[in-house]
Structure 1
């Protein structure tokens, strides 16, 4: 008998269930990559909307009435442009934070495929409308604020939906590692968004928004055509979300290739109608750990989103790079975030300590932020190294909480098999974090005129508060000391 080709052997070594899980993982990865890809251009374009016009060569036929601001884009040609940028960021982030608390409840009650695809198409529309302001010569702050607010509102469809979908397909066994890799979509989206926006920022900055808008809208169409919400919809095995003494993982006797996509699955393949009711908002808050991790994410996301929206401008102002170079260099922060997210997930899987992993990375991040501000611009190699380290330490806990931790809490044992809490829990945690994401860039806009040092002191303080939010209520330490959740007064929901 002839031996099969190596490629065919590899393909056939995976089961049908494994291929579906791999397909869903890739699909949701692409979807949320496009969400962040469409958010990033505003941070790149800021340095183009308000420039140092003395360094810009103007056309000979242009009648210049103000030599200081002739090349700027009104209304951002004023001295308070940093405050205006902060307001612009806040319109998106406040709408996102408010909408997120409702988005999770909608996600539990509506088909995820329709909910996610409509959100991406609408987000693409509003992103394009922002870019069209360049071609329509719109100089009204209200127009850009309105478009940003509407975009922030529809982008809340993304995170609860994709986490719920991945949580439906994957069990708890290697969730931290799988989601650590999967969560790199955030950084990949930021990187691609920076690179795409950088291509057009110096010539026609409107395209820096229009191209990402078309991309996310196209992804919405793909979502409508291909997304499978639950394994039972295609007769695949259901994931086992809770460890059981009586039940051994199926993978003990299966190939290692299938392990990562079939961890802790049950043998039941029969589709089953889910008659459990979606959990209430207050019921989700009673799940042990939801409040603690929500507060931690508030401060962690404050730091991460301040870098997301202000790092290119900081690099341009302090290191005197042009807008494209500053945008390209800022992507190193997201490269470090990819590594940090994967390491956080891997360490938490093997240690069994999600909160402890977050605490360790947060406490190291504080002095690293201080060093970056002091020596981060002392030569290109130092800048690259510091950006990678800061990205890993800042985004590692953020990635872990928004993925593996949210999925763990949304399938907590106190829910007694009710799987319809995942989207609501994810929305509560990320919605609380989004409050910090709204506060951070706004504070940066208000503080930066007094000096970038003060901005970094604010970020360090937020990082310490994130550490303390978990440390005061460290569930794992209490568990290691024999202090159970029942002793904390929680009841089964």
Structure 2
């Protein structure tokens, strides 16, 4: 490839990377928009449509459980079909489910038990449909972005969830408080936004650079020497395996192997769902993530309703602001905690105190129990920071850390299995909590949150102590090394002052 071809290839690559980033970012954001606009409307559903909080808990349980099942099963098909079709078909099915719910409610076509059964069925289908988006988008991003800036880029990309949540709060607020529209039209509006992105994804999304003649490997190779290139090829292989199998079934095993690695892979034994729990730290992090995910989803799904119960009479606008600030806090916390833990090389030493601060802020919320929007905004913004930091780190960096363990070295597809185990456990626990909240009472949500967060803190405590001890030992070794250097320097000066010359190596 001559210089002109390289320049042309680099320009096209830059253009398509911007395009892919934008399409996947806004595509997944519209799905989160639909989820959070639904959460914001819960209080309206109870007052306008005689839908109980218990039934809303059933719907949340149905969505999260089917969503986690979709993660564990549908990813298998995503590895074996064009990612554009995989994601757009799933999102289009989600559009249908949302439209059915909205149309049935606005027209009053069904009532009573019949309505509840239909709502549950289509909410289960909605969860399964939406589960195709994340694995498809993550795999697409993995095809287009190399290791060089992947951490930074994916750190910004994961903000799609928080951006989508804020979109959902804004949409619900504008339609309900601003335009005074019945809540049944909100899922219809959400479906419209998703459909617009489905069309754009179908027309413009190119999941594979080779599909349009762009040589990504050449672009990566031009900035590497021979030794670095070999290591990069290994990283690319592992990244490809990680992205393509991130949400594959925990019981499945890939058959396709790279030709350069086939002999080595044949000697590796797969890790199944059950013995994966025995891998060091996997069980702790799986349960830790379950507690954190349950807490975050509990706030995301029930905070708008909580702000409308008992003595709290917060307006729709103020509820949107409080919920949006919580999401902004999660995004900021994930970036800050991720950067700090990368620098320290230890995760738990930062995550432990961060969770502890979130517990303290939840206790403050319990004591104050206020409907003051400024106070609530302040509290939930910092709860988002201190709780969202460990949540995002556990969701991303921790899984990569676990994949580097020696225990996984001789195991085929261990990363897929461990990732599915941690994600699946978190989603299942979060789903179960949605059933607990209506029976505990929406007014007791903070007690549920406090309990879940304390459990997470207790689970993380041994690893926090271990990391602190390790850092102290490292600091002690550095000090000893520094003292030795100073002592040797003094000896050399004394020898020089006596007229003796240090022996030079030949």
TM-score by length of 1: 0.74
Deviations 1:139-159 (A, max 9, x none): 221121111111112221122
Return the structure number with greater helix share: 2
Matching of residues 307-456 of structure 1 within 5 Å: 307-317=299-309, 318-375=311-368, 377=370, 379-406=372-399, 425-448=418-441, 452=443, 454-456=444-446
Deviates more, 1:117-126 or 1:470-479: 470-479
Instruction: Determine the structure 2 residue equivalent to 1:468.
Output: 458
Deviation of 1:402 (Å): 2.4
Instruction: Determine the structure 2 residue equivalent to 1:197.
Output: 172
Task: Tell whether the 8 Å contact from 2:348 to 2:463 is kept in structure 1 after alignment.
Answer: no
Deviations 1:321-363 (A, max 9, x none): 2445423432221121221122122223322334444333222
Deviation of 1:211 (Å): 1.2
Deviation of 1:173 (Å): 5.7
RMSD: 4.0
Greater C-alpha Rg: 2
Instruction: Determine the structure 1 residue equivalent to 2:37.
Output: 41
Deviation of 1:445 (Å): 1.5
Deviation of 1:308 (Å): 0.9
> Could you say if the C-alpha distance between residues 119 and 409 of structure 1 is closer, same or farther in structure 2, counting changes exceeding 3 Å?
farther
Deviation of 1:376 (Å): 6.0
Deviation of 1:190 (Å): 0.8
Deviations 1:158-190 (A, max 9, x none): 223323333444455655543332211111111
Matching of residues 195-234 of structure 1 within 5 Å: 195-201=170-176, 202-230=180-208, 233=211, 234=214
Alpha-carbon distance in 2 for matches of 1:324, 1:214: 23
How many positions carry a matched residue from both structures? 425
Deviations 1:353-393 (A, max 9, x none): 34444333222211111112323626332222112101222
Alpha-carbon distance in 1 for matches of 2:53, 2:465: 41
Matching of residues 31-430 of structure 1 within 5 Å: 31-51=27-47, 72-74=48-50, 76=51, 81-137=52-108, 138-139=110-111, 140-171=115-146, 175-201=150-176, 202-230=180-208, 233=211, 234-237=214-217, 247=228, 274=258, 281-282=272-273, 290-317=282-309, 318-375=311-368, 377=370, 379-406=372-399, 425-430=418-423
SS of 2:216's partner is coil
Alpha-carbon distance in 2 for matches of 1:379, 1:480: 44
Deviation of 1:247 (Å): 2.7
Alpha-carbon distance in 2 for matches of 1:20, 1:249: 26
Alpha-carbon distance in 2 for matches of 1:325, 1:113: 38
Instruction: Determine the structure 2 residue equivalent to 1:487.
Output: none
Deviations 1:194-213 (A, max 9, x none): 11122223422122101111
SS of 2:370's partner is coil
Deviation of 1:300 (Å): 0.5
Deviations 1:76-131 (A, max 9, x none): 2xxxx222221121121122223322233333344322221211111111112111
TM-score by length of 2: 0.72
> Could you say if the C-alpha distance between residues 203 and 23 of structure 1 is closer, same or farther in structure 2, counting changes exceeding 3 Å?
closer
> Could you say if the C-alpha distance between residues 199 and 423 of structure 1 is closer, same or farther in structure 2, counting changes exceeding 3 Å?
farther
Alpha-carbon distance in 2 for matches of 1:178, 1:376: 39
Gaps of 5+ in 2: 1-6, 238-255, 472-506
Alpha-carbon distance in 1 for matches of 2:138, 2:403: 10
